[in-house]
A and B are shown apart, each in its own frame.
Chain A
Amino acid sequence: MHEITYREVITPDVFLLKIKAPVIARKRKAGQFVIYRLHEKSERIPLTLADADPDEGTITLLFQAVGKSTMELGTKKAGDQILDVVGPLGKPTHLENFGTVVCIGGGIGVAPLYPIVQAMKDAGNNVVTIIGARTKDLLILEDMVKAASSELHICTDDGSYCEKGFVTDRLKHLVEQGVKPDLCVAIGPVVMMRAVCNMTREFNIPTVVSLNPIMVDGTGMCGACRVTVGGKTKFACVDGPEFDGHQVDFDELIKRQAAYLAEEKTAREKWTCESGQ
């Protein structure tokens, strides 16, 4: 059992939870994730470790309520318990002083990006961060990311805040202005990561993406999380979740993520109806 020690509603469907998990808090590294199971009947759901406080013995999760399981987690308050939390899972981010690193986060992807921004900065990099969202109200973690980055650029699809446009527009602009990234890290919706990769391939910027296929065990046992990278099948939970974005088969990932759309709808409707949410 893991107690929720703190809860914050970031936007109407994005939540921040701090959860007691002292060993994970001590051991986790940037780029890693946990899998939680809320109660006996729950699914196992992967979420990135957005932050951790080893002294307090807590980990921070930031998630968007998109379906039954994450909506249910979103209703939990400080003092409530989560049945299982396992981690830290996945390979940590490869860190070194690359020079200039452009970190790009879209939507909820800003959450998993945040610990990487911090770690890249700590490794001595000049970290230029670009974050984007559909609209102002959906933008998350602005202050925290700003404090961790060397410089921060913000854009919204609808222009309701800062620059109007996509993160890729912003990246292009920066490169045209003479910024020479040695590495790009992009995390967000798959279509965004694909667009970033198409652009950085043109500019010859090595690019790392963090993939979020459907997972079950998270230990390399089931193969649910398989993705094609460079023509080879990889298991995102043990070989990733970070991969060379220029090698990833994004179309396959999109299709595999959509495998349970009908079931997810059933689950969501059943839950919304029963919980009165």
Chain B
Amino acid sequence: MDEKKKSKGLPKKERMKIPRTPMPEQDPKERSRNFSEVPLGYTPEMAIKEATRCLECKKPKCIIGCPVEVKIPEFIGLIAEGKFIEAAWTLKETNALPAVCGRVCPQETQCEITCVTGKKSKPVAIGRLERFAADYERAQGKMQIPEIAPPTGKRVAMVGCGPAGLTCAGDLIKLGHEVHIFEALHAPGGVLVYGIPEFRLPKAIVNAEVDYLIACGMKLHLNTIIGKMYTVHELMEEENFDAIFIGTGAGAPAFMRIPGENFANIYSANEWLTRINLMRAYEFPACDTPIHRGKIICTIGGGNVAMDSARTALRLGAEHSIVVYRRTRKEMPARDEEIHHAKEEGVEFHFLTAPLEYSADDEGKVTEMRCIRMELGEPDASGRRRPLPIEGSEFTIECDTVVVAIGNLANPIVPDTTPGLKLNKWGNIDADRETGATSIPGVYAGGDIVTGAATVIEAMGAGKVAARAMHEYLTKSETAATT
């Protein structure tokens, strides 16, 4: 209570003067060779101090920036009072995965960019506080099972166990529906487990969140590919599901289609990260899945996926981990924090550079990459300045491993096996943004499969929107059936 008085007692002006509390981190030299988490998290004292910086605005601007409208001033207020568990529960009212979001949300472009404190000094560290509260709750083992509505007798199927499917599942369980979630891989979590590396998002956190949903009643079916084992139509007609949510993600890797791209030791970022994260290839031969431990590893691309790949390369023992990006540092889509961490750890950057072709040795293993220098021209459709090749500027980079991280496309399995499912011209499912409804009645979709590769929190937001609409659909058909 003393803490509370102290913080609440501080006048706004004084609170504004407190500098943003830095996050303790593993030393860059050390961490670039291990897979343990990089930021170490706030201590309770640090969390209270940072929470004190929040002005608990009457009309909080921060909430507008959050796709799931987390009650930001409310949960931060509770932290300031030392009520950490209550803070976590407040978070969970709107966000099923706060421990994940606190770590991976691009806060600097979402909730924190709109925070008023940011105008004069640095914004309140909303993400770090979110992570603190969720971690505190997990460590105390005080996960609260929410109140669950009486059974409605309706069965719903989630296709894909990523953040979109998990969020939709969580909301529908609370409303009393019987929820089954089908996952193609042998582990739940989607990109959270096969893509985002352990040093950024420990898998134990994702597992704890999934266990929590199972405790709430969600039925998890791993190793089940919808479209192969059951089609979407079979789920409805033979397996008696009343509604379906498709959250299969943007799981098909894009390649550049340049000569030599299929040489050995050229990986898609998905393969590279899946081998290492999901299959634990960094433990080879203790684990069976191999990976090529190159000395000079080039990663193509400038997003989060590229940063994860390049930082992982260092942890596998690369002497040089080089990012090759065709625009400049300014246009990189990766989060600032990731770029900063990558630089600290020793990742090298070749900006304004694009690969043209690869060469290989007699065994077909990549040995070098011919590149061309670029310059920035007029802005393109994305608003970023278009990179243009500079004629005659070709040069080569020697390398023994390449990771192509230029984006992901829609996975074709569900679209190919679901007649009547409307797609857009990029192969993504055409779903109503307000409801998640697709062209098939009772079938909803959301997340990366609808938007193309986006963010965890946007996928979760889409799962929420669909859950609301599905609930309405399910209860409406109920009244229709009984009248």
A18 CB–B CB distance under 8 Å: no
A68 to B290, CA, bound (A): 12
A217 to B193, CA, bound (A): 13
A256 to B271, CA, bound (A): 14
Residues of B within 8 A of A42 (CB): 288
Residues of B within 8 A of A24 (CB): 229
One of B55-63, B253-261, B321-329, B367-375 contacting the partner: B253-261
Residues of B within 8 A of A258 (CB): 264, 363-364
Chain A, range 28-49, C-beta contacts under 8 Å to B: 37, 41-44
B286 CB–A CB distance under 8 Å: yes
Q: Are B364 and A223 in contact (CB under 8 A)?
A: no
A74 CB–B CB distance under 8 Å: no
One of A55-63, A84-92, A99-107, A139-147 contacting the partner: A84-92
B275 CB–A CB distance under 8 Å: yes
Q: Taking the nearest CB of chain B, how far is it from the CB of A63, in angstroms?
A: 16
Residue ID in chain B nearest A213 by CB atoms:
B262
Q: Are B185 and A267 in contact (CB under 8 A)?
A: no
Residue ID in chain B nearest A252 by CB atoms:
B262
Q: Are A216 and B222 in contact (CB under 8 A)?
A: no
A219/B413 contact (C-beta < 8 A), A37-B186, A256-B264 known: yes
Residue ID in chain B nearest A261 by CB atoms:
B363
Q: Are B411 and A219 in contact (CB under 8 A)?
A: yes
A95 CB–B CB distance under 8 Å: no
Q: Are B222 and A69 in contact (CB under 8 A)?
A: no
Q: Are B262 and A226 in contact (CB under 8 A)?
A: yes
Chain B: interface residue total (CB-CB under 8 A): 44
A189 CB–B CB distance under 8 Å: no
How many A-B residue pairs have C-beta atoms within 8 angstroms? Tell me: 118
Residues of A within 8 A of B265 (CB): 259
Chain A, range 231-277, C-beta contacts under 8 Å to B: 233, 235, 238, 252, 255-256, 258-260, 263-264, 266-267, 270
Contact of B255 among A87, A221, A223, A264 (CB under 8 A): A223
Residues of B within 8 A of A69 (CB): 288
B225 CB–A CB distance under 8 Å: yes
Residues of A within 8 A of B292 (CB): 259-260
Q: Taking the nearest CB of chain B, how far is it from the CB of A277, in angstroms?
A: 15
B270 CB–A CB distance under 8 Å: yes
B451 CB–A CB distance under 8 Å: no
Q: Are A222 and B288 in contact (CB under 8 A)?
A: no
Q: Are A264 and B290 in contact (CB under 8 A)?
A: yes
B295 CB–A CB distance under 8 Å: no
A87/B288 contact (C-beta < 8 A), A37-B186, A221-B270 known: no
Q: Are B413 and A233 in contact (CB under 8 A)?
A: no
A224 CB–B CB distance under 8 Å: yes
A226 to B253, CA, bound (A): 11
Q: Are B284 and A223 in contact (CB under 8 A)?
A: no
Q: Are B288 and A84 in contact (CB under 8 A)?
A: no
Given contacts A217-B185, A227-B262, A259-B264, 6 further A-B contacts (CB under 8 A): A42-B288, A219-B184, A219-B251, A233-B262, A255-B365, A259-B365
Query: Interface of A with B (CB < 8 Å)?
Result: 23-24, 27, 37, 41-44, 68-69, 83-89, 216-217, 219-224, 226-228, 233, 235, 238, 252, 255-256, 258-260, 263-264, 266-267, 270
Across the A-B interface, the 9 shortest Cβ-Cβ residue pairs: A255-B364, A263-B290, A222-B271, A259-B264, A86-B223, A223-B268, A43-B288, A221-B251, A260-B290
